[in-house]
């Protein structure tokens, strides 16, 4: 091998070595980024005291989602300590943080009667990318049907098996909601893989063996003009 060939071989070896080091560094950075994202998803907060998810002033801590990129400020707003939602277009607001094992309380009301436009819902265990609809469990907010539980976006439970995605686990007994204009209290107890739903202090439903047990918390914009004055979570009571 000539001196020129030898120098060229050395140079190529160094170039190859640098390329390998660069590729290893890139893969390591990618792995760390993926691990960090996975940790964020897989380590939801379990409350040890009451956490007010609405501060009475603005929607800090919430993401507003409308599927076609519409102006969210025309759908969601805060005025005089109350969250206002026009119900149009369809979408949701959801927490930026994931949670698990908690009791959720939402105090809300329909603003007015509007035929076929009296719908909303409280969502728990939301996961995955924002879309209509990500995996979640919904406590139905439709007038006269509050307490039905929908398993959405591929979520499943023991009581829902064999049902279509648009068929809810039906509430137990007649509606317990207040007349339109009156405040309703929706409580959802999320414990492990079970979810209980109560409306105005009455247990309306329960589903068990749920395929999802943690995630974000959301409120639907789905036809009904609504107002919300409180959203908070609390630790589960000891058995």
Q: Is residue 155 part of a domain?
A: yes
Would residue 201 be called left, alpha or beta, if left means φ above 0 and alpha means ψ between -120 and 50 degrees? left
What would the pLDDT profile of 212-228 be if each residue is shown by its tens digit?
999 999 999 999 999 99
**Do residues 36 and 59 share a domain?**
no
Higher pLDDT, 207 or 11: 207
Q: Is residue 195 part of a domain?
A: yes
Q: Is residue 172 part of a domain?
A: yes
- Residue pair 188/196 in contact by the 8 Å Cβ criterion: yes
Residue 1, pLDDT > 90, answer: no
Q: Which of 3-17, 29-43, 101-115, 180-194 has the lowest mean pLDDT?
A: 29-43
Domain count, the chain: 2
Q: What's the confidence (pLDDT) of residue 20?
A: 42
**Do residues 107 and 159 share a domain?**
yes
pTM here?
0.82
What would the pLDDT profile of 154-210 be if each residue is shown by its tens digit?
999 999 999 998 999 999 999 999 988 999 999 999 999 999 999 999 999 999 999
Residue 113 corresponds to which tokens in the numbers above? 């009667």
Range 227-236 average pLDDT: 98
**Do residues 1 and 80 share a domain?**
no
Would residue 197 be called left, alpha or beta, if left means φ above 0 and alpha means ψ between -120 and 50 degrees? beta
What would the pLDDT profile of 51-96 be if each residue is shown by its tens digit?
999 999 999 999 999 999 899 999 999 999 999 999 999 999 999 9
Q: What's the confidence (pLDDT) of residue 43?
A: 87
Q: What's the confidence (pLDDT) of residue 62?
A: 98
**Do residues 66 and 29 share a domain?**
no
Domain that holds residue 11: 1-43
Residue 28, pLDDT > 90, answer: no
**Do residues 15 and 119 share a domain?**
no
How far is 203 from 186, CA to CA, in rounded Å? Answer: 10
**Do residues 24 and 59 share a domain?**
no
Q: Measure the CA angle with vertex 48, ends 44 and 49; round to 5°.
A: 120
**Do residues 18 and 88 share a domain?**
no
**Do residues 90 and 200 share a domain?**
yes
Q: Is residue 1 part of a domain?
A: yes
**Do residues 1 and 91 share a domain?**
no
Per-residue burial over 107-122, b = 16 or more CB atoms within 10 Å of its CB, e = otherwise? bbbbeeeeeeebbbbb
CATH of residue 56's domain is 2.60.120.560
- Residue pair 232/51 in contact by the 8 Å Cβ criterion: yes
**Do residues 127 and 189 share a domain?**
yes
How far is 114 from 119, CA to CA, in rounded Å? Answer: 10
Q: Is residue 239 part of a domain?
A: no
**Do residues 8 and 118 share a domain?**
no
Q: Is residue 16 part of a domain?
A: yes
Q: How many CA atoms lie within 13 A of 187 on its CB side?
A: 15
Q: Is residue 73 part of a domain?
A: yes
**Do residues 113 and 210 share a domain?**
yes
Q: What's the confidence (pLDDT) of residue 229?
A: 98
Q: Is residue 157 part of a domain?
A: yes
């Amino acid at each position: 091998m000539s001196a020129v060939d030898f120098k060229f071989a050395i140079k190529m070896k160094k170039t190859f070595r640098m390329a390998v080091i660069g590729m290893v560094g890139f893969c390591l950075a990618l792995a760390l980024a993926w691990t960090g994202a996975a940790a964020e998803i897989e380590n939801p907060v379990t409350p040890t005291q009451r956490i007010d998810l609405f501060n009475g002033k603005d929607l800090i801590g919430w993401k507003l989602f409308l599927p076609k990129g519409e102006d969210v400020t025309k759908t969601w707003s805060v005025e005089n300590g109350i969250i206002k939602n026009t119900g149009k277009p369809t979408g949701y607001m959801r927490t930026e943080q994931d949670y698990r094992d908690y009791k959720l309380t939402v105090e809300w009301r329909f603003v007015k009667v509007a035929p076929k436009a009296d719908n909303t819902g409280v969502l728990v265990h939301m996961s995955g990318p924002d879309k209509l609809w990500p995996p979640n469990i919904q406590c139905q907010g439709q007038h006269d049907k509050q307490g039905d539980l929908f398993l959405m976006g591929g979520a499943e439970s023991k009581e829902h098996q064999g049902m279509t995605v648009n068929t809810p686990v039906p509430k137990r007994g007649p509606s317990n909601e207040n007349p339109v204009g009156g405040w309703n209290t929706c409580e959802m107890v999320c414990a492990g893989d079970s979810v209980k739903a109560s409306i105005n202090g009455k247990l309306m439903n329960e589903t068990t063996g749920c395929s999802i047990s943690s995630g974000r918390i959301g409120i639907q914009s789905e036809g009904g003009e609504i107002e919300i004055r409180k959203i908070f979570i609390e630790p589960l009571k000891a058995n």
